Structure 1
Amino acid sequence: MKITDITLDHLRLELDPPFHAAWDPVPRRHFDATIVRVHTDEGVTGIGSGDTMDGFDAFRHLFIGQDPLHITRHVKAIETANFHGGHYWPLEAALWDIVGKVHGRPVSELFGNATKRLPAYASCGELKSPEERVATALKVREAGFGAMKIRIDRDRVSEGIAAVRAVREELGEDFDIMVDLNQSWRMAGDTTDATDLARTRKTLARLAELDVFWVEEPLPYADLDGFKRLRAENPGVRIAAGEMHHSTTELLRYLEEDALDVYQMDVVLAVGMHRARTLAEVARLKHRHFTPHSWTNGIGVLANLHVSAGVGGGPYFEFPFDPPGWTPERRDFMLAEPVRVDAEGCVRVPDAPGLGVELDEDAVERWRVG
């Protein structure tokens, strides 16, 4: 089998009303998605998505004519291309889709087959008042979720903590609450400094009183010693990070120095499926959690799900969901059916070979911009 072509569909869904992502100073008036298709001479096509694939045309020749099943070779080639260009991990997802289709099995089985489904937590994306956040939390619980993640803005910490407190009082102790401080990385052009360690320590102490399940990305990635200090000072609060950390060796350093409780590297945005599996296995061997970031479209959600289910990730799986601003229908506009949770709040691995992606070709054609 040989790769005959790699094609990209750039899609743009207009968002009206706009989505006010907590980590982005600019309201999002559209949602972009790039679909990668790897074509072969035997008629098997792999599908991936996640990052923008900007600049990939310069590196397409590295893969054309190669056997798509030579995953290790392709991972190394993608890493060399990433050094000179963008981040091309959606290509690896498409290649794994081919591997699964060739062998007639879901990719998660090839990654270890630890489970067929994972409990999901509703990952909220917008900043809301305590009253609005409680209203959303009730919808989340009604949809079957047993946990949710709340964003806190560094300039509105007291309001964010009030929202966490309101949800805890309304939904009780049996509902798990995660908190994301969004301090590890920045959107392009956002040059504001992260909250310093002293203030972050105070915030974590206040959140510990509310029995949060974890606090996510409380510090910049470079502050490894700060992460370790936060863990040591707050034994009752798990520390989570790593979603957009692109360095496998630095993530290994985090693991070696036991800096985190929860490792969150995204398989289509950060380090790829193959490398994420290695890091996840190490985390699991060290009795730490792997719960990948999956704030992307439905294809990226499925790629992260297959790796997490394969290695036995958990205790939850991130499910982007913050109605009415962010719904499965918006997130998965290119799919025939959105990825959803079941009645028990779990997200299930598709039974279909590969990643289980089924595109809505009419939607792809409608929203294509290049």
Structure 2
Amino acid sequence: MKIADITLERLRLELDPPLRAAWDPDPRRHFDATIVRVHTDEGIVGIGSGDTMDGFDAVRHLFVGQDPLDIVRHVRAIETANFHGGRFWPLEAALWDVFGKVAGLPVATLFGGAGRALPAYASTAELKAPQERVEVAWQVREAGFQAMKIRIDRDRVEEGVAAVAAVREALGPEFGIMVDLNQSWRMAGDTADATDLAATRRLVRRLSELDVFWVEEPLPYADRRGFQQLRADNPGVRIAAGEMHHSVPELLSCLDEDVLDVYQMDVVLAVGMHRARTLAELAQHKHRAFTPHSWTNGIGLLANLHVAAGVGGGPFFEYPYDPPGWTPERRDFMLTEPVRVTASGELEVPQRPGLGVELDEEAVQRWRIG
């Protein structure tokens, strides 16, 4: 079997009203998705998505004509291409989709088959006043979720803490709450300094008193000692990060130096599926957790789910959901059906061969811009 071609389709869904994500400098008025298709000479087509794949045309020749099942070779080739400015991990997801279809197995089974479902947490996006956040929390709970993640902005700390406190009071001690401070990396155009260590230590202590399950990305990635200090200060709350950590050696150093409780590498944005699997298993050997970031679209979500379920990640899996601003219908506009949680709040691994992606070809054509 050979790779006959690799095609990209760029889609854009207009967002009206816009999504006011806490990490975006400006409201998000459209949602873009790039679909990667790996076409083989035997008619099997693999599908991936996640990052933009900008600049891929210059390196397509490295893969066309090769055996799609030579995954390690392709991972190494993607890494050499990424070194020069690309982020082509959606291609690896498409290759694993081919692999699963050839084998007749879900990719999660190929990755170890540790589980067929993971408890999901509702990962919110927008900054909301306490009462609004409680109203969404009740919707989340009624949809089956047992936990949710709340964003706190560095310039609106008191409102954020109040929102966490209000949700804790309203939904009680059994409901899981995570908090994301979004301080480890920046969107383009966001040049503000991160909150300093002293202020962050005070904030994490307050969140620990509210029985927060983890605090995510509280500091810039480079401040490893700061992360270690936060963990030492607050033994009752976990510290999570790593969603956009592109360097495998740096992640290995984080594991060696015991920097985090929860590792969150996104397999279609950061280190890819094969490398994330290795890092996840190393984290688990050190009694640390792996639960990946999944804020792309339903295809990227499924790629992360297959890796996490394959290696037995958890204890929760991220499910982007913050109605009415962010819904499964918006996130998965290119799929025949959005990826949804069960009534008990779990995400089940599709048992179809490959990643289990089912594209809505009419939607792909409708929203295609290139």
- TM-score, normalized by length of structure 2? 1.00
Partner of 1:154: 154
Is the CA contact 2:329–2:338 (under 8 Å) kept in the aligned structure 1? yes
- In 2, the alpha carbon distance for the partners of 1:130 and 1:247 equals 37
Residues 59-70 of structure 1: pairs in structure 2 closer than 5 A: 59-70=59-70
- In 1, the alpha carbon distance for the partners of 2:191 and 2:152 equals 18
Residues 165-314 of structure 1: pairs in structure 2 closer than 5 A: 165-314=165-314
- In 2, the alpha carbon distance for the partners of 1:35 and 1:294 equals 16
Shift of 1:86: 1.6
Shift of 1:25: 1.3
- In 2, the alpha carbon distance for the partners of 1:138 and 1:144 equals 10
Backbone CA RMSD of aligned residues: 0.4
- In 2, the alpha carbon distance for the partners of 1:16 and 1:233 equals 43
Describe the SS at the equivalent of 2:131. helix
Describe the SS at the equivalent of 1:65. coil
- In 2, the alpha carbon distance for the partners of 1:16 and 1:117 equals 33
Partner of 2:41: 41
User: In the alignment, does 2:312 pair up with 1:316?
Assistant: no
Q: Which amino acid aligns with 1:140?
A: V
- In 2, the alpha carbon distance for the partners of 1:173 and 1:215 equals 17
- In 1, the alpha carbon distance for the partners of 2:269 and 2:335 equals 19
| 1:280-316, Cα deviation, whole Å (9 max, x unpaired) | 0000101110000001100000000000000000000
- In 2, the alpha carbon distance for the partners of 1:175 and 1:50 equals 30
Partner of 1:145: 145
Q: Which amino acid aligns with 2:269?
A: L
User: In the alignment, does 2:89 pair up with 1:89?
Assistant: yes
| 1:203-245, Cα deviation, whole Å (9 max, x unpaired) | 0011011000000000000001110110011000100000001
| 1:93-129, Cα deviation, whole Å (9 max, x unpaired) | 0000000000000000000000000000000000000
Is the CA contact 1:165–1:210 (under 8 Å) kept in the aligned structure 2? yes
Is the CA contact 1:10–1:33 (under 8 Å) kept in the aligned structure 2? yes
Alignment gaps of 5+ in structure 1: none
Q: Which amino acid aligns with 1:345?
A: G
Shift of 1:189: 1.5
Partner of 1:19: 19
Q: Which amino acid aligns with 2:226?
A: G
Shift of 1:169: 0.2
- In 1, the alpha carbon distance for the partners of 2:85 and 2:368 equals 23
Partner of 1:350: 350
Describe the SS at the equivalent of 2:105. coil
Is the CA contact 1:56–1:85 (under 8 Å) kept in the aligned structure 2? no
- In 2, the alpha carbon distance for the partners of 1:86 and 1:221 equals 20
Describe the SS at the equivalent of 2:59. helix
Describe the SS at the equivalent of 2:158. helix
Q: Which amino acid aligns with 2:204?
A: L
Find runs of 4+ consecutive structure 1 residues off by over 2 angstroms: none
Is the CA contact 1:105–1:354 (under 8 Å) kept in the aligned structure 2? yes
| 1:36-93, Cα deviation, whole Å (9 max, x unpaired) | 0000000000000000000000000000100000000000000000011320000000
Partner of 1:58: 58
Describe the SS at the equivalent of 2:15. strand
Partner of 1:338: 338
Describe the SS at the equivalent of 2:133. helix
Is the CA contact 2:104–2:354 (under 8 Å) kept in the aligned structure 1? yes
- In 2, the alpha carbon distance for the partners of 1:3 and 1:324 equals 41
- TM-score, normalized by length of structure 1? 1.00
**Number of aligned residue pairs:** 370
Q: Which amino acid aligns with 2:75?
A: V
- In 2, the alpha carbon distance for the partners of 1:173 and 1:211 equals 8
Is the CA contact 2:25–2:189 (under 8 Å) kept in the aligned structure 1? no
- In 2, the alpha carbon distance for the partners of 1:242 and 1:260 equals 9
Describe the SS at the equivalent of 1:182. coil
User: In the alignment, does 2:128 pair up with 1:125?
Assistant: no
- In 2, the alpha carbon distance for the partners of 1:192 and 1:118 equals 36
Q: Which amino acid aligns with 1:43?
A: G
Alignment gaps of 5+ in structure 2: none
